[in-house]
Structure 1
Amino acid sequence: MARAAYILPALAVVAVVAMSSVFIVDEREKALVLQFGQVRAVKEDPGLGFKIPLIQEVVRYDGRILGLPTQPLEVTLLDDRRLVVDAFARWRIVDLVEFRESVGAGGETTAQIRLDNILNAAIPEVLGSVPSSRVLSEDRTGLMNQIRDIARREAMALGVDVIDVRLTRTDLPDQNLSATYARMRAEREREATDEIARGNEAASRVRASADRTVVELTSEARREAEVIRGEADAERNGIYAEAFGRDPEFFAFTRSLTSYERALQGDNSSIVMQPDSQFFEYLRGDTAAIGAAPAAAAPVTP
């Protein structure tokens, strides 16, 4: 019984020591085994690892691709224009030993600060050598690649690899926005005024052409109407002349009736003239009947 009392605690101590000598590395992590601050082993593959309990310790780092958004940075370009630039970088740890020696116990936080300083120096270096038209254009991949290459070269001393750098914002400073918007508004208003002037000029040309066409068509129509009216009058006069030649008395009679009709139109027409006027020749009772022969009438005794 006494021996069993010593064996069980010994087994417990051995189990605790064995468990403390084993560590597990996740597939998203990388690990270093340190002994008194010195690197003794590197564990980059996921799985079990071993260390000496109480003497060695395990430091874990993120093995994934990490992101780094930079702070807004005001940059002066080649044409003396100032822009506020934001960037976003992708990076990862590639050399654990060098990374540990560079950042010490600060880990990823210290590396983020160091990378931010590197990017803040690389962005003005690249953008300050080009005009604003190139920075504000859609095709600025070359500029971002230049920033990435400079940052990658500087970050190699940290044991990290800068995978990509992207410019997320390139805007004017707040104090320049109002002046820029006013200038853009003035340019748009000038363009609108020019367009309105050109439109009015085109409308005047179209209106003048339409008026000229109307005058020409109206003149042509009047000319044709006068020609037709003249031909009709000539034909009418010919018909009148032919009818007058066939029976002058009947022609005079019909003309008189037509005159009566036109003169006595209306509900209250009044004509004042002498009874023996020639106008009433065919209304007097003693006028001979039209077409009657005087010789054929029989003599009447009074």
Structure 2
Amino acid sequence: MNRSMYLVGLVVVAIGIISSSLFIVDEREKALVLQFGRVVDVKEDPGLAFKIPLIQEVVRYDDRILSRDVDPLEVTPLDDRRLVVDAFARYRIADVNQFRQAVGTGGEATAARRLDSILRAETREVLGSVSSNDILSSDRAALMLRIRNAAIQEARGLGLEVIDVRLKRTDLPRENLDATFGRMRAEREREATDERARGQEAAQRIRAQADRTVVELVSDAKRQSEIIRGEADATRSAIFAEAYGGDQEFFRFYRSLEAYRGALLENNSTMVMSPDSEFFDYLKSDTATQR
């Protein structure tokens, strides 16, 4: 009986020793085997692994791609126009042994804080070397690449691999918004004033051109009308001359009628004439006195 219990005890102890010497490495993690705080083995491949019970311990780290949001920070570009920038980074633990040496027992939380400091410093340095227009334009993709490349070098000492850095939001500080909006409004008003001035200048040119065209058309019309009137007067004079040459009595009769029409108009000057005057010859008879 005692021997059976002894064997059972040995089996239990053996099972305990074996179970404490075995551990499983998940595919989403990496593991370090530590002996008295010193790294003695690195387990990166998923599966079953062994360690010395009681003497060695296992520390696990995430092998997936991690994200880190950088708290909003103010940057001052070359044009002294302060901006508030939000950024985030994606990274992974590339060298788990170097990672352990850099952060010690602080683990991933300590690494995240140190990476945050690296990203903030590189963001300030890169964005401080360009103007605010470059940051707010499509060129920001090149700026994010510069931040990423600089952060890669700094993060390598932590055993980290920086995969990507992105600027989520780039805004003006709240106290600067009103001043900025005022400048934008003034700029737009100036552009509108310039546009109106150019429009008025163009309108004046068009009006001047139209007035000149009107003057030219009226002058040409008057010239043509004078020419036509002169030709008509010449034709009339020719007709009168021909009529005078063909029938002198008719011509005198016609001239007398024209004289009556001009002299006997209403509101005309008063004339005192003798009834026997030659002026009334055609009023007293159908034919004038032959001379």
TM-score between both structures, scaled by the size of structure 2:
0.70
Q: Is the 8 A contact 1:84 1:172 kept in 2?
A: yes
Instruction: Indicate how the Cα distance of structure 1 residues 234 and 161 shifts in structure 2: closer, same or farther if over 3 A, else same.
Output: same
Show the counterpart of 2:155: 155
Residue correspondences, number: 258
Residues 226, 280 of structure 1: CA spacing in aligned structure 2 closer, same or farther, 3 A cutoff?
Answer: farther
CA distance in structure 2 between the aligned counterparts of 1:244 and 1:49, rounded to whole angstroms: 143
1:68 aligns with 2:65: no
Whole-Å separation in 1 of the counterparts to 2:284 and 2:167: 111
Code of the residue aligned with 2:172 in structure 1: it is L
CA distance in 1, matches of 2:138, 2:284: 103
Matched with 2:124 is 124
**Which one is further off, 106-115 or 65-74?**
106-115
1:205 aligns with 2:205: yes
Q: Do structure 1's residue 95 and structure 2's residue 89 form an aligned pair? A: no
- Structure 1 position 182 matched with structure 2 position 186: no
Residue aligned with 2:157, SS: helix
Code of the residue aligned with 2:236 in structure 1: it is R
What one-letter code is carried by the residue in structure 2 that aligns with 1:50? Answer: A
Q: Which is worse superposed, 129-138 or 158-167?
A: 129-138
Cα distance 1:234–1:78, how it changes in 2: closer, same or farther (>3 A)? closer
Residue identity in the other structure for 2:110: T
How far apart in 2 are the matches of 1:35 and 1:19? 15
Deviations 1:85-122 (CA, angstroms, capped at 9, x unpaired): 22222321111122233334553333222211222223
Specify whether residues 233 and 78 from structure 1 end up closer, same or farther in structure 2 by C-alpha distance, changes over 3 A only. Answer: closer
Letter in 2 for 1:195: E
Alignment partner, residue 218 of structure 2: 218
Query: By how many angstroms is 1:20 displaced?
Result: 8.0
- Within-5 A mapping of 1:242-257: 242-243=242-243, 245-246=245-246
* RMSD (Å) for aligned C-alpha atoms: 4.0
Per the alignment, residue 295 of structure 1 pairs with: none
Q: For residues 192-211 of structure 1, what are the alpha-carbon distances to aligned partners after superposition, in whole Å with 9 as ceiling and x for unaligned?
A: 11221222122112211210
Shift of 1:230: 1.9
Match of 2:82 in 1: 82
Runs of 5+ unmatched residues, structure 1: 257-273, 288-302
Question: Is this contact kept in 2: 1:25–1:49, CA < 8 A?
Answer: no
Q: Flag the 1:250–1:162 CA change in 2: closer, same or farther, 3 A.
A: same
Letter of the aligned partner of 1:193 in structure 2?
Answer: T
Instruction: State the Cα distance separating 1:17 from its structure 2 match.
Output: 5.0
- Contact residue 20 and residue 53 of structure 2 kept, 8 A: no
- Percent sequence identity is 60
- Shift of the alpha carbon at 1:50? 1.7
> SS where residue 81 of structure 1 aligns?
coil
CA distance in 1: counterparts of 2:32 and 2:21, whole angstroms: 16
> What displacement does 1:30 show?
2.5
Describe the shift of the 1:238–1:19 C-alpha distance in structure 2 as closer, same or farther (beyond 3 A). farther
Specify whether residues 277 and 247 from structure 1 end up closer, same or farther in structure 2 by C-alpha distance, changes over 3 A only: closer
In 1: Cα distance, 2:44 partner to 2:146 partner: 30
TM-score by length of 1: 0.68
CA drift of 1:16 comes to: 11
Could you tell me how far apart the structure 2 residues matched to 1:106 and 1:179 are?
A: 45
Instruction: Report the more deviating stretch, 233-242 or 211-220.
Output: 233-242
2-structure distance, mates of 1:37, 1:154: 26
